[in-house]
């Protein structure tokens, strides 16, 4: 072996899936990770209180610093029930005061993550939203303008890291132009190098201060790589380290994803050699550690690279753990989210809370795991909120008014960007069956014109966005009768 100071286990980040595995399975995986000596864990799902206890247990068991990460692009509540859900980045960019909104989101996310021991916030997405058929970015992006994405992403990062957590800019050097999901296979971006400069710009804007960057499982022939950027020295070391001058920690995307290939343990060796410091979510942590250790013994240069990765990860983690927590600002989630709703109150002209109203849920999303905070069927939150406000909600086809809550969000392994023709038709038929109808789109605003019916955009399937849509409706319906409208545009 390479010795304790360059233990290959220290660069491996094991997964703990509270959203899919039984408590016994989670505990067993955590114990095995500790026995192997992994550098940390990435968490998915679970109740916040339980996650806090789990993190405390693994930290005590390790007796050393650990990277504890989670994908929290839409607030800590994206993964952990009991914490705050927030609108996705595209919605934050649509807020009347986007600079303040992204700073509030970054700070709140970090504070709540740290409250349960998560010190690595794997966000924000700095990919450009430039390809409508992209199946995995869309609302996860701050937009299509490289300068604006860099500015808003930088504000989010600054707020997150000032609270003491490590942020992670992803997916370098840009996943926005793909038409294939890297969870499924290896996307190739055939754009010329001058065009890819736009994709690099947001990462260049934050390279001097973000704590970590995640490499994409995407190929970029114009940048000299026909394989995933994750295993490309020219992209990871040459471009990110060399040209952009990034000195923080570089992580792989999840190594279980199809874009890295079938043998992710051997791919981890290549990723380390390319310049990555953390191997995130391998299929088999033990096999990956063994492959890294074996390769380091055989190759002195790789052993040196391993030592550099372990040292860099340790220094970065210590720097952010010692940061002073920021004071917590006031953020009321539903009001905050309501301000991001895109819609014209005239879309509900003639509506009345006293008319019978049907709420229908229509989903374009496969069942690959609901948002952490979701409770009940799609549309139930809008229905319950309006009923509580005195609306006459009836599950009857002859209702005078119909609200279709349409979920059409980017999801891993979904494989498409635009809502399918079938679900659009289903939504349209339901709306047209009533005297007055409206679609509440839980997806990107660019799909509003394709609905073929009046609609508003509520961006994502988090509970807070359905509640915000209900709040918008409560405010907008009286508005068309002469009373002031509430939030929403």
Q: Which residues are catalytic?
A: 183, 253
Residue 154's nearest CA partner among 77, 208, 87, 86 is 208
The Cα angle at residue 331 between residues 327 and 334, in degrees rounded to 5: 160
* DSSP code of residue 217: S
Cα radius of gyration rounded to whole Å, the chain: 23
Q: Report how far apart, in Å, the C-alpha atoms of 263 and of each of 100, 255, 259 are.
A: 44, 9, 11
Per-residue tokens: 67 = 């990277």
Q: In what order do the strands lie in the sheet with 279-280?
A: 249-251, 212-215, 166-172, 120-121, 67-70, 40-44, 12-17, 279-280
Taking the CA of residue 343 as centre, how many other CA atoms within 13 Å lie in the half-sphere pointing to its CB?
35
Work out the widest C-alpha separation in the chain, in whole angstroms: 77
Residue 420's Cβ-count burial label (10 Å; 0-12, 13-18, 19+) is: exposed
Alpha-carbon distance of 288 to 291, in angstroms, equals 5
Alpha-carbon distance of 203 to 149, in angstroms, equals 9
Alpha-carbon distance of 187 to 217, in angstroms, equals 8
3-state helix, strand, coil in the chain (%, to 5): 45, 15, 40
Residue 119's nearest CA partner among 11, 40, 214, 206 is 40
Per-residue tokens: 409 = 């969000």
Per-residue tokens: 231 = 């295993």
**Please, where are the H alpha helices in 322-439?**
333-338, 380-388, 421-432
With H, G, I as helix, E, B as strand and everything else as coil, classify residue 320: helix
């Amino acid at each position: 072996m390479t010795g304790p100071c360059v233990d290959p286990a220290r660069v491996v980040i094991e997964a703990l899936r509270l959203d899919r595995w039984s408590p016994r399975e989670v505990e067993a995986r955590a114990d095995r990770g500790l026995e192997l000596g992994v550098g940390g864990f990435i968490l998915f799902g679970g109740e916040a209180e339980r996650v806090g206890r789990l993190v405390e247990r693994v930290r005590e068991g390790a007796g050393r610093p650990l990277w504890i990460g989670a994908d929290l692009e839409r607030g800590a509540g994206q993964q952990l029930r009991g914490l705050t859900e927030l609108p996705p980045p595209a919605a934050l960019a649509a807020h009347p005061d986007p600079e303040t909104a992204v700073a509030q989101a970054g700070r709140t996310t970090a504070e709540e993550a740290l409250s349960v021991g998560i010190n690595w916030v794997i966000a924000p997405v700095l990919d450009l939203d430039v390809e409508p058929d992209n199946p995995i970015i869309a609302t996860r992006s701050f937009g299509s303008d490289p300068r604006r994405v860099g500015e808003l992403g930088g504000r989010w990062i600054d707020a997150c890291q000032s609270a003491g957590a490590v942020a992670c800019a992803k997916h370098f050097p840009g996943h926005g132009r793909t038409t294939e999901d890297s969870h499924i296979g290896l996307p190739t971006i055939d754009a010329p190098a001058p065009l890819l400069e736009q994709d690099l710009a947001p990462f260049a804007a934050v390279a001097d201060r973000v704590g970590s960057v995640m490499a994409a499982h995407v190929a970029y022939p114009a940048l000299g790589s026909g394989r995933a950027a994750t295993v490309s020295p020219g992209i990871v070391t040459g471009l990110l380290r060399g040209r952009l001058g990034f000195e923080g920690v570089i992580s792989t995307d999840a190594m279980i994803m199809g874009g890295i290939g079938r043998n992710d343990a051997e791919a981890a060796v290549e990723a380390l050699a390319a310049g990555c410091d953390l191997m995130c979510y391998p299929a088999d942590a033990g096999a990956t550690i063994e492959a890294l250790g074996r390769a380091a013994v055989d190759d002195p240069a790789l052993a040196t690279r391993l030592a550099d990765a372990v040292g860099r990860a340790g220094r970065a983690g210590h720097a952010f753990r010692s940061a002073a927590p920021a004071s917590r600002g006031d953020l009321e989630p539903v009001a905050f989210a309501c301000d991001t709703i895109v819609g014209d109150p005239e879309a509900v002209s003639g509506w009345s809370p006293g008319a019978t109203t049907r709420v229908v849920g229509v989903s374009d999303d496969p069942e690959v795991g609901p948002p952490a905070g979701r409770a009940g069927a799609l549309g139930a939150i809008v229905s319950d909120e309006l009923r509580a406000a005195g609306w006459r909600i009836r599950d009857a086809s002859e209702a005078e008014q119909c609200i279709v809550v349409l979920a059409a969000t980017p999801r891993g392994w979904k494989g498409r960007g635009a809502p399918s023709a079938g679900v659009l038709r289903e939504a349209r038929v339901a709306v047209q069956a009533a005297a007055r109808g409206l679609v509440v789109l839980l997806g990107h605003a660019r799909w509003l014109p394709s609905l073929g019916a009046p609609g508003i955009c509520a961006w994502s399937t988090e509970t807070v966005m359905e509640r915000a849509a209900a709040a918008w409706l409560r405010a907008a319906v009286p508005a068309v009768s002469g009373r002031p409208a509430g939030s929403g545009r």
